[in-house]
Structure 1
Amino acid sequence: MSDSLAQDPVYKTETLIAEDIEAYLDQHQHKTMLRFITCGSVDDGKSTLIGRLLYDSKMIFEDQLAALEADSKRVGTQGQEIDFALLVDGLAAEREQGITIDVAYRFFNTEKRKFIVADCPGHEQYTRNMVTGASTADLAVILIDARKGVLVQTRRHSYLCHLIGIKNLVLAVNKMDLIDYDQTKYDAIVANYAAFAKSIGIERFTAIPISGFKGDNITTAPSANTPWYTGPSLVAHLETVEVLSSEDQAKPFRLPVQWVNRPNLDFRGFSGLIATGAVKPGDEVRVLPSGKTSTVSRVVTFDGDLDEGVAGQSVTVCFADEIDCSRGNVIAAADAPPQAADQFEATLVWMADEAMHVGRAYWLKLGTQMVSTTVQQPKYEINVNTMEHLAAKTLQLNSIGVAELATDKPIVFEPYAENRALGGFILIDKLTNATVAAGMLHFSLRRAQNVHWQPLDIDRREHARLKNQTPRVLWFTGLSGAGKSTIANEVEKRLNLMNRHTFLLDGDNIRHGLNRDLGFTEADRIENIRRVGEVAKLMADAGLIVLTAFISPFRAEREMVRKMLPDGEFIEIYVETPLDVAERRDVKGLYKKARAGDLKNFTGIDSPYEPPENPEIRVDTVAMTPAQAAEHIIRAILPLK
């Protein structure tokens, strides 16, 4: 570079600008991220506060600002030039009603930090939306209208935030301008909230007097209107609050495996986000639930190897030994591993319109682990307005309760209060793939750790070989009066003539003994089929061909039994009969009673029947006699060996 070029004013200016841009981009790239939510009662000013934050942080483009000013004039804001709430209330229904319905996510940044903020609805019927927004938050801003003080929804949302595990709480006493910035009223609100917070276990919170309308103590503090307040502004607090506590990094190492990284034959690593603790080459680790141990050889990232990976970082861990590890496993410190169990107590927040089905199998997703689980009748439901424990047979939309659940295989976990990554889960409906609940594990049940499978020398293959047949479960399903028991009986007689070892489980007969304690509610029907499925599985393990004749009205329970058995052993037989035909037969007079209202929860009348979608065998009882149907089934299941 020539001296004359270096001294050129234009060149010097362009160089300085380029350096400033590079420095700014580097600083922005390394900013920490804070996820927080705003919550509180209706009209406490949540959306207005977020709109103010976006406006003051200059995150609004000129065309957006012009549209906002036009919308504010159209809606009418009582003298206010800009209605900041319209920046967030994006749904037409929200603007029409003046409330927040869904969770609205917004992004902004300051010189010190980047932010993702979720504006959560205040109405009780949108509790599930609030829980969704809180599930990933590091901090919660709980707004209180200074004119109204602590309300039921204030308590409700504070409890939910505490339940979800948000430790950083800001009590933002809003609309201070409407009480003339009265310190006495502010102090009384803070004292009232502090007493409530202590009663539910909230250890600390930060109180700030603000006005989203006027901007007091939002970006700078103290405001001239609150000279008696000496704490930080809201933005200053958000910029400096600790996102990842040193406590998390001091905990034992935990890394849920997201995927196996195998770009070539010379590299094999296990990738994921470090939930807690730290890891470095040479550390002894244990892979759960298998319990196999190894030594860390490398900690790899996109930018190269690390001397140490810490909580909050996404890394790939390589082992010194070739041991089995896959997605869903957890890599942990060898000398302080987490637990693995298959029965738990948990808190559930029910998020589906359809009520929880006690005993029905759902998918449980915890981190990268996915297992099948069943939920027992709740121990109690929590009235989050009064903190009372109420008796409950199930959980409805937005209900919160404590229940026991059992998984089909052990999962690696830690109590949610200690580790959100290994203690928080969701439940997924197996048929619709819809998320129906969010949950927090408390502890494993003692019996889950004391009950183990006992190895047996004579297994199901030996039982089947002795009987010279392949075990099967022939599952007859259909409406009452379809002819399930009659046809199943005909099939068994033919199998008996073929010297096959069989056993017929009939719905009515089972209810005289094994299931005599069950009624005909939806929950009892689910438990009825679960028990029958377990018995059928045991009989199949003994080498038998099992025939079951049950209405079994729900697809989910039939699919649950199918999954209990090896592939190919569950044969679903749909005894298809139109409702009017089944009703005309009505041998037991059940339809007549149901039509008269004397028999509740009767399938086909006031309780649904879900026909099989892809049964292995379909029998049309209008076109076939029982003998013809039995012959059709026998031909379909041959050969039997």
Structure 2
Amino acid sequence: MLTNPTTEPVPARTKDQLRFITCGSVDDGKSTLIGRLLHDSKMIYHDQLMVLQRDSIKHGSTGNDIDFALLVDGLEAEREQGITIDVAYRFFTTSRRSFMVADTPGHEQYTRNMATGASHAQLAIILIDARKGVMVQTRRHTFICSLLGIRHIVLAVNKIDLVAYNKECFDRITRDYLAFAAGLNFTSIAPIPISARYGDNVVDRSARVNWYHGPCLLEYLESIDIQSGTASQAFRFPVQWVNRPNPDFRGYAGSVASGRISVGDEIIVAASGRTTQVKRIVTHDGDLVGAEAGDAVTITLEDEIDIGRGDVLSRPDERPRVSDQFAAYVIWMDKEPLAPGRNYVLRIGSQTISSSIAAIRHRIDVNTSEHLAARTLSLNEIAFCDVATTMPAVFDPYDVNRKTGSFIIIDRYTNRTVGAGMIAFPLRRATNIARQALTVDRRERAALKNQKPCIIWFTGLSGAGKSTIANLVDQKLFAMSRHTMLLDGDNLRHALNVDLGFSEADRAENIRRVGEVAKLMADSGLIVICSFISPSKPERDRVRSLVGKEEFIEVFVDTPIEECARRDPKGLYSKVKSGEIKNFSGVDSCYEAPTTPDVHLRTMEQTPEHSAEAVLDVLMARSILAG
């Protein structure tokens, strides 16, 4: 263990913990630095050291010296390639402070792993190879650190031995970095010249860098004053689980994200606005009088109110934001580009909400901080976006509370985490726009037509027979003197949606527009027949929500894809096979078949005529056809 010569050792029970990350470009020496810190802090056992010496001979890149990077780079692929792939967490302690360090990867393709490590850190060590200076990945990692709320930076100019401990080289790199980081809202930036391989200025001051008079790295890490402040923030308690072990007990389990709470305190359910008081704070070891940030507890309440997983409890006078629209910085982490308008799953704490990127305001050039126009995001790109959720989300701006202001984006089809975000502020709809009240309502318009308005939504693969059956339904209703309108996908793409292509984003916008048009037609009292592939269940559900469950009839035209390809009425499957068409629903793009459609038409078992009659039977059963 090391002891600062000017300070008495701190008793273990009073030590605070500093969580920091190492980041920067590949081969800048991040893993070597952590290995050196652990070794020189006497945190490596003798048997570990023996293994490290043996592995250095087999996998090392430092000649006859110990390769300290191998202490952290545990994955076989990392050892063979000499790079860090995953985030490696290590704990060590000195007489003054305990540390949790995350060694994050430098390669651009693993930027998402770096962001994961940064999201929990209070300080970042940005390593720069003294021979190379500030690199693109240095800027990218610095920018991500800023976005993720890290306010303290150590600029570790590594491999200073390879430039003969040159002061001018160190000064130039420091100037370049400070110029880049000037507008990123860091509280402190501490440049330190080091050699991770030989230990210069890592744990002990180095006589070979006699022109540097600041602290060595460990000394700085031990002394920097970083208070997380979560206990002094507003109280936030995301409910993770409703605890009902028996009929006489109902508690709400989770971890206090920030702030403090005590028995008897008044609290509010942020989304619903219902208020009550804390009755008990329960733990496995017994009841507590109070709880604070980091405590895992079960809270019981004085009143029986509706609370479920994802709800957030707070104090009434410190209520978080509740909105279905907000602006956020988004880091895209998937090889498949972001599709604005497409439905993704958003996870904010314990909340899981369907959402979409409504608009990309601008993409950010991590080298210059310049704002650039963009319609999509590729792997590792960062943008400022408008996010829309299907139900109100509870959150704080990220700079107010990192726990309740951050989110991850999950692809609904693959369940991959494809992005991460930091909420900037809620969005308000324009205050100068209001709905115009109409004297004649939709029921009165429909009564004139002796029918109830509805949307009949045909969905199925291309070639399934949707348009054929929809046309038959339309003809039969017309023969019955019913007032209808048929909206067909191809027809609308010749006019209303002529500006849209077939990307994920354009397809989502296509269905959104159709849904709004269908709603307006239903409001006029019409029976609206829609025929669209509409492969996404959330997009179909969104249209359903515009008119209500009883007025939306989902018709699944169920035809095996082999039969659709055999029919191929438009020649599309042939073009898919030849490579002329990409992202074709049911082939190389997902089609989410309805699981509980209102009408399930199996076209291999019934004729189009029988299928149309089956739809009319449902209309009669729902009293859509009143007379």
TM-score (norm. length: structure 1) = 0.82
Q: Secondary structure at the residue paired with 1:420?
A: coil
Q: C-alpha separation between the residues in 2 aligned to 1:399 and 1:518?
A: 24
Give the share of equivalent positions with the same residue, in percent: 52
Q: Equivalent residue for 1:526?
A: 508
Kept in 2: contact 1:470–1:640 (CA 8 A): no
Q: Secondary structure at the residue paired with 2:182?
A: helix
In structure 2, relative to structure 1, the CA distance for the partners of 1:450 and 1:566 (3 Å cut) is: farther
Kept in 1: contact 2:122–2:228 (CA 8 A): no
Kindly state the Cα deviation for residue 380 of structure 1 after the two structures are TM-superposed: 1.6
Kindly state the Cα deviation for residue 523 of structure 1 after the two structures are TM-superposed: 2.4
The one-letter amino acid of 1:38's match is T
Q: C-alpha separation between the residues in 2 aligned to 1:459 and 1:30?
A: 69
Q: C-alpha separation between the residues in 2 aligned to 1:573 and 1:67?
A: 64
Q: Equivalent residue for 1:573?
A: 557
Q: Equivalent residue for 1:235?
A: 218
In structure 2, relative to structure 1, the CA distance for the partners of 1:32 and 1:268 (3 Å cut) is: farther
Q: Equivalent residue for 2:347?
A: 365
Q: C-alpha separation between the residues in 1 aligned to 2:459 and 2:396?
A: 42
Kindly state the Cα deviation for residue 610 of structure 1 after the two structures are TM-superposed: 3.3
The one-letter amino acid of 1:507's match is G
Matched, 1:476 2:459: yes
Q: Equivalent residue for 2:358?
A: 376
Kept in 2: contact 1:575–1:618 (CA 8 A): no
The one-letter amino acid of 1:238's match is L
Q: C-alpha separation between the residues in 2 aligned to 1:457 and 1:304?
A: 62
- The one-character-per-residue Cα deviations of 1:226-249 (angstroms, maximum 9, x if unpaired) are 455454443343344445434x44
Kept in 2: contact 1:299–1:318 (CA 8 A): yes
In structure 2, relative to structure 1, the CA distance for the partners of 1:58 and 1:302 (3 Å cut) is: farther
Q: Equivalent residue for 2:401?
A: 419
In structure 1, runs of 5+ residues without a counterpart are 1-25
Q: Equivalent residue for 2:593?
A: 612
Q: Secondary structure at the residue paired with 2:208?
A: coil
Kindly state the Cα deviation for residue 261 of structure 1 after the two structures are TM-superposed: 4.3
Matched, 1:435 2:414: no
Q: C-alpha separation between the residues in 2 aligned to 1:540 and 1:566?
A: 13
In structure 2, relative to structure 1, the CA distance for the partners of 1:383 and 1:163 (3 Å cut) is: same
Counterparts of residues 139-538 of structure 1 (less than 5 Å): 139-219=123-203, 221-246=204-229, 248-262=230-244, 268-306=250-288, 308-447=290-429, 473-479=456-462, 482-495=464-477, 503-511=485-493, 514-536=496-518
The one-letter amino acid of 1:213's match is R
Q: Equivalent residue for 1:14?
A: none
Q: Equivalent residue for 1:582?
A: 567
- The one-character-per-residue Cα deviations of 1:345-389 (angstroms, maximum 9, x if unpaired) are 111111122111221111111112222112124122112122222
Q: Secondary structure at the residue paired with 2:467?
A: helix
Kindly state the Cα deviation for residue 178 of structure 1 after the two structures are TM-superposed: 2.8
Q: C-alpha separation between the residues in 2 aligned to 1:438 and 1:415?
A: 14
Q: C-alpha separation between the residues in 2 aligned to 1:164 and 1:528?
A: 35
Q: Secondary structure at the residue paired with 1:376?
A: strand
In structure 2, relative to structure 1, the CA distance for the partners of 1:592 and 1:289 (3 Å cut) is: closer
Q: Equivalent residue for 2:3?
A: none
Residues 567-576 or 84-93, more deviating: 567-576
Kindly state the Cα deviation for residue 142 of structure 1 after the two structures are TM-superposed: 0.8
Kindly state the Cα deviation for residue 529 of structure 1 after the two structures are TM-superposed: 1.2
- The one-character-per-residue Cα deviations of 1:588-618 (angstroms, maximum 9, x if unpaired) are x888999999x97795799857373757466
Q: C-alpha separation between the residues in 2 aligned to 1:60 and 1:69?
A: 12
- The one-character-per-residue Cα deviations of 1:307-331 (angstroms, maximum 9, x if unpaired) are 5543343444444444443332222
Q: Equivalent residue for 2:117?
A: 133
Kindly state the Cα deviation for residue 394 of structure 1 after the two structures are TM-superposed: 0.7
Q: C-alpha separation between the residues in 1 aligned to 2:244 and 2:573?
A: 61
Kept in 2: contact 1:281–1:298 (CA 8 A): yes
Kept in 2: contact 1:473–1:570 (CA 8 A): yes
Kindly state the Cα deviation for residue 393 of structure 1 after the two structures are TM-superposed: 1.1
The one-letter amino acid of 1:147's match is R
- The one-character-per-residue Cα deviations of 1:247-299 (angstroms, maximum 9, x if unpaired) are x4443333323334455666554443333333334544332122223344555
In structure 2, relative to structure 1, the CA distance for the partners of 1:576 and 1:317 (3 Å cut) is: closer
Kindly state the Cα deviation for residue 619 of structure 1 after the two structures are TM-superposed: 5.1
Residues 88-97 or 225-234, more deviating: 225-234
Kept in 2: contact 1:271–1:316 (CA 8 A): yes
Q: C-alpha separation between the residues in 2 aligned to 1:442 and 1:130?
A: 21
Kept in 1: contact 2:413–2:590 (CA 8 A): no
Kept in 1: contact 2:152–2:186 (CA 8 A): no
Q: Secondary structure at the residue paired with 2:555?
A: strand
In structure 2, relative to structure 1, the CA distance for the partners of 1:609 and 1:484 (3 Å cut) is: farther
Kept in 1: contact 2:464–2:557 (CA 8 A): no
Q: C-alpha separation between the residues in 1 aligned to 2:269 and 2:609?
A: 57
Kindly state the Cα deviation for residue 73 of structure 1 after the two structures are TM-superposed: 1.1
In structure 2, runs of 5+ residues without a counterpart are 1-9
Kept in 2: contact 1:521–1:601 (CA 8 A): no
In structure 2, relative to structure 1, the CA distance for the partners of 1:294 and 1:625 (3 Å cut) is: closer
Count the aligned residue pairs: 609
Q: C-alpha separation between the residues in 1 aligned to 2:113 and 2:396?
A: 25
In structure 2, relative to structure 1, the CA distance for the partners of 1:542 and 1:275 (3 Å cut) is: farther
TM-score (norm. length: structure 2) = 0.83
Kept in 1: contact 2:443–2:452 (CA 8 A): no
The one-letter amino acid of 2:85's match is I
Kept in 2: contact 1:576–1:620 (CA 8 A): no
Residues 160-169 or 380-389, more deviating: 380-389
Matched, 1:66 2:47: no
Q: C-alpha separation between the residues in 1 aligned to 2:444 and 2:280?
A: 47
Q: C-alpha separation between the residues in 2 aligned to 1:499 and 1:59?
A: 86
Q: C-alpha separation between the residues in 1 aligned to 2:502 and 2:209?
A: 64
Q: Equivalent residue for 2:26?
A: 42
